Amino acid sequence: MKYLVTGGAGYVGSVVAAHLLEAGHTVTVLDDLDTGFPQGVPEGATFVSGRIQDAARVLDPSYDGVLHFAAHSKVGESVEQPEKYWRNNVGGTLDLLAAMRESGVRTLVFSSTAAVYGEPERTPITETDPAAPTSPYGASKLAVDHMIGGECRAHGLAAASLRYFNVAGAYFASDGTAYGERHDPESHLIPLVLQVAQGRRTSISVYGDDYPTADGTCVRDYIHVADLARAHLLALEQATGGEHLICNLGNGNGFSVREVVETVREVTGHDVPETVAPRRDGDPAVLVASAERARTALGWQPERSGLAEIVQDAWRFAQHTAAEARG
C-alpha cells in the first residue's frame, strides 16, 4: 500500500513512517522541517519538503491513505498565539481533507491528543467523556476531530482519530536507525530528567507536589512510541468508509512525576537531584486513559507498558545522541 505521512520527520511521525516501511508499504513524507528539531526522514521514504497545504500537489489516486501528524503542538505557545494554531492545525487540515477528496484518497489516520479532554471529571478517561480543552492547542485538535467526523458522514471518508496520552521512549529500527524524542528547547519530563542523569542539567524541577495524588505530584499515562506506532497500522487496517473511529492511546496506568524521576535513577544508575517548583499552568492532576476501546476496536495490546522499559529505551536514545554529538 502507498501512504502519505504529513509531519513524517517529527518524533511520532518518523516512528510511524519507519513502521510502515518495515511492513512493506511505500511511504511519502511531507514535512516542512520547521519543528525546531526534525528527527530525520526514514531511509526508503520519498521526502517532499512542504506544509500541509502542499498535500494537494503530492496526492494522487495511487495513494491508499494519509497519516496526518503535521501540527503545532506546544500548549503554552497556543495560549499566546492561538491564531497560529487555528490557521495551521485547523485550516491546514481543511485543505488536506479537500486535497484527499479531490484525489479520491479516502482513508485517514489523524494524530489527536488527550489534551482535548482538558481537566477530566474522572479517570480513566473514556472516549465518551466530555471534551473540554483548556488550551487552543487542544481545541484545535478537537475541531479537527469534529471536521473529520463530518467528512466521514458527508463524503464517506474512512478515518481514525487517535488521542495520544504521554508518548515517550525511542525506537531502534532493524536498519540500526534510532528514533527518539528531542525538542529544542526541551520541555518534556522524561528527556529532561535524562538530561539531569547525563549531567547536562543540575536538577529537575518538579512542578507542584501538592496535587491530590498519592505523592502529591502529577500522574500521567506514558505510552511507548513503538506501541503507539503499531496502533496506527492497526487503525489503517480497521478503517471503514463512512466511519470515524475515535480512540484513546495510553496504557491505562498512571505514573507520578516522582515515580518517573525514581525510575530514571534506577535505570541509569545516576544521581538525579530534584527541586520542587510551583505548579505549571494548565496541568491537570491526573491524566490516565481507558485503553479499552483501543483493545476492542483495534485489537491493540501494548508490548512495552512498563515505565522502566520506556525509560530504558529513552536512555539508550539519549546516550546514542550524546555519542553522535561527540562525533
Report the interface residues with ligand UPG, using CB under 6 A. Answer: 73, 113-115, 165-166, 187-189, 192, 204-207, 218, 220, 257, 280, 283, 287
Structural contact between residues 227 and 305, judged by C-beta atoms closer than 8 angstroms: yes
Distance (Å, whole) CA 11 – CA 100: 24
Looking at the Cβ atoms of 28 and 248, the one nearer to ligand UPG is: 248
Residue 85 annotated in active site? no
Structural contact between residues 261 and 274, judged by C-beta atoms closer than 8 angstroms: yes
Looking at the Cβ atoms of 137 and 179, the one nearer to ligand UPG is: 137
Count of CA atoms in the C-beta half-sphere (13 A) of 22: 18
Cross-strand partners of 28? 4, 46
- Smallest distance from the beta carbon of 144 to ligand UPG, in angstroms? 14
Place of cell 524541577: 205
**What is the torsional sign of CA 100, 104, 105, 107?**
positive
Looking at the Cβ atoms of 179 and 211, the one nearer to ligand UPG is: 211
- Smallest distance from the beta carbon of 205 to ligand UPG, in angstroms? 5
Considering 11, 117, 137, 222, which one is annotated as catalytic? 137
- Smallest distance from the beta carbon of 191 to ligand UPG, in angstroms? 8
User: Distance of alpha carbon 267 from its chain centroid, rounded?
Assistant: 24
Looking at the Cβ atoms of 58 and 219, the one nearer to ligand UPG is: 219
- Smallest distance from the beta carbon of 96 to ligand UPG, in angstroms? 20
Secondary structure (DSSP) of 232-272: HHHHHHH--TT-EEEEEES-S--EEHHHHHHHHHHHH----
Distance (Å, whole) CA 114 – CA 313: 23
- Residue nearest ligand UPG (C-beta atom): 218
Distance (Å, whole) CA 107 – CA 3: 10
Looking at the Cβ atoms of 67 and 192, the one nearer to ligand UPG is: 192
Cα→Cα distances 208→95, 176, 265, 272, 282, Å = 41, 39, 20, 17, 12
Q: Which residues are catalytic?
A: 137
